[in-house]
Amino acid sequence: MKAGSYAPTRYLPFGDSAVLIEFGDAISLELNRKVIALDEAILEAEVQGVEELVPTYRSLLVRYDPLKMTYEQLVFRIKEIEEKAAESTAKVGGRKITVPVVYGGEYGPDLSHVARYHGLIEEQVVKLHSGREYRVYMIGFVAGFPYLGAVPDDIATPRLETPRLKVPAGSVGIAEKQTGIYPCEAPGGWQIIGRTPLELFDMLRQPPALLEPGDIVKFEPVSEEEFKTIRESIPKGVHMSFSEE
Amino acid sequence: MKVFQVLKPGMLTTVQDTGRYHYLRYGVPISGAMDVFSLVVADVLVGNNRNDACVETTLIGPELQALRRTQIAITGGTASPKINGSSVPMWQTLEICEGDVVSFGRMESGCRSYLSIRGGINTSLVLGSRSTFVRGRFGGIEGRQLKTADTIEGFDAPLLEVEYLTPEELQSQFTGDYKVHVVLGPQAEMFTEKGISTFLSNPYKVTLEADRMGYRLEGPIIEHKKKADIVSDALLPGAVQVPRDGKPIVIMRDAQTTGGYPKIAVTITPDVSLLGQAKPNDTLEFSKITVQQAHEKTREYYKLLNNLGALLMRKS
């Protein structure tokens, strides 16, 4: 058993209408892969009585209709699906999505702090942040907010001591080893290093969130002019680069 | 179709239905009526569907002027409703005429009342629901609480020929001391035996920090074994989480969809409706039941909701 991973998977009652399936108690790619694999397998199996699934870092919440099944029946059925999902070699989800970002300046007021904290220059922080692919571990905090991991240790930075009352929509931040994007203006303590012109959440869109757990995100540095051009073109849905892996 | 004009908005008056489901994975809270049971009774009293949108009031109700003849019902927290200044009963169909003014008095018991309108309130559906999520600024009327001069639109529906009363035993009583059934877990094992018994054997008081997101409670400290943090995972209304300070927080309908505190227990569905009527200084006593017992109670509750039409009495 790897550190932080449970064997067997833990099935825990969550009130009378949900079961929480815990794969471990750590933030890790391996655990999150298991979460997403089971999420997809249950969705695919279209289990009668399953109402909705909430994948997070290391667990999957399954909300069900207690009029349609007992707790034991549900757990039995999901364990069957879990076994099959574990045997299958099918690759787990993961659309690749490019997110353009203007780094620094008024768009990323904490970029200089992050650089100083690590004894880097701002350009190095940008290069490190945009130089790797991130996995969407979960969506939470506010509608459409993706928790992405993990940033290189060289730029992992603690949250602000005093959170801001207002972080603008589109802000890209770092909190320890996580990076994330604010879909709407919200209070927050993440170190803001840039901003994307993309709409992370649009309630008139289906699905409403741009990103889903399991997606792969790549940040792409853009200029202020490009930011504005993209921003103006958003209603047409341009510049959201989706590609199946 | 314009049904009401808002003369006074009240303290926090919003449009709510039974909730916005299926979007938790995108971080969208369920929202909806804090006391779903009372909302459904209000709807059925005017012949609506069980999930039609109603007005939810909070402590101080609004003043609304009818713009046409229609039928309404008021349920939930006892709020001394009046029509044109004269007291009217709650929990029954009421006919009102164009120009009538519906107002509310002091909230004598409970915290929230529900006003249904024959045909249901018509606002745009947002992600399948009309519920207002004020913090997210969507749903209901422009994603906000009602304000003076707002118009409440309704769907056209012929008046009911028969009007109804709710039998007394179905009219919820909101005493301010609530017995709340919970299923322990999912993270009860992060607490000491003493911690769990503290939680189950003492009353907890609802503090002033109580709103549609959740209630912070005051009472004996609940002891964790070691850690008081978990890797963030999903939340649902009714979950009771306990941060490091050992004071429980009950999660309600507008709460964020994930959280990093361990959940000692989760409230059963019918009692989440009851919790929706709790207000500051009320006390909650938690008692544990098994999942199987919870299912029996919850099935009974759903059966009751589904049968309401047959249980209501005709007004003579």
In this complex, which of A14, A54, A71 lies closest to B25 when CB atoms are compared? A54
CB contacts of A52 in chain B (<8 Å) are: 21-22, 24-25
Nearest to A17 by CA among B50, B280, B116, B239: B239
How many angstroms separate the Cα of B275 from the Cα of each of B96, B177, B185, B240?
31, 10, 19, 12
pLDDT at A236: 43
Domain that holds residue A43: 5-87
* pLDDT tens profile B159-198: 999 999 999 999 999 999 999 999 999 999 999 999 999 9
In this complex, which of B187, B231, B294 lies closest to A57 when CB atoms are compared? B231
Fold of B177-304: Cyclophilin (2.40.100)
Kindly state the percentage of chain B with pLDDT values over 70.
100
* pLDDT tens profile B3-20: 999 999 999 999 999 999
Nearest to A125 by CA among A147, A97, A156, A146: A156
* pLDDT tens profile A40-81: 999 999 999 999 999 999 999 999 999 999 999 999 999 999
Residues A114 and A138 in one domain: yes
| CB-based burial label for B310 (10 Å; 0-12, 13-18, 19+) | exposed
Amino acid at B20: R
Residue of A nearest to B258 (CA): A140
Residues A104 and A155 in one domain: yes
CB contacts of A56 in chain B (<8 Å) are: 231-234, 258
Asked if B257 lies within 8 A of A18 by C-beta distance, the reply is no
Which tokens belong to A244?
A: 């199946």
Is the pLDDT score of A86 beyond 80?
no
A102 to chain B, minimum CA–CA distance in Å? 25
Asked if A15 lies within 8 A of B236 by C-beta distance, the reply is yes
pLDDT at A94: 78
Angle of helix B291-311 versus helix A71-87 axis, rounded to 10 = 120
Asked if A12 lies within 8 A of B138 by C-beta distance, the reply is no
CATH number of the domain to which A40 belongs: 3.30.1360.40
CB contacts of A202 in chain B (<8 Å) are: none
Nearest to A203 by CA among B129, B125, B126, B124: B126
Boundary-marking domain end, from A87, A115, A144: A87
Per domain, the residue ranges of chain B are 2-168, 177-304
Asked if B236 lies within 8 A of A67 by C-beta distance, the reply is no
Boundary-marking domain end, from A87, A111, A142: A87
A124 to chain B, minimum CA–CA distance in Å? 30
pLDDT at A245: 29
pTM: 0.92
pLDDT at A161: 85
| ipTM over 0.85 threshold | yes
Number of structural domains found in chain A = 2
pLDDT at A241: 31
Determine contact, residues A16/B183, Cβ cutoff 8 Å.
yes
* pLDDT tens profile A128-155: 999 999 999 999 988 899 999 999 999 9
CB contacts of B238 in chain A (<8 Å) are: 15
CB contacts of A138 in chain B (<8 Å) are: 232, 258
CB contacts of B302 in chain A (<8 Å) are: 66-67
Asked if A142 lies within 8 A of B266 by C-beta distance, the reply is no
Residue of A nearest to B270 (CA): A16
Boundary-marking domain end, from A87, A118, A146: A87
Asked if A16 lies within 8 A of B291 by C-beta distance, the reply is yes
CB contacts of B142 in chain A (<8 Å) are: none
Task: Map residue A72 onto helix, strand or coil.
Answer: helix
CATH number of the domain to which A181 belongs: 2.40.100.10
Residues A127 and A218 in one domain: yes
Asked if A61 lies within 8 A of B232 by C-beta distance, the reply is no
Residue A187's pLDDT band, with cuts at 50, 70 and 90, is: confident
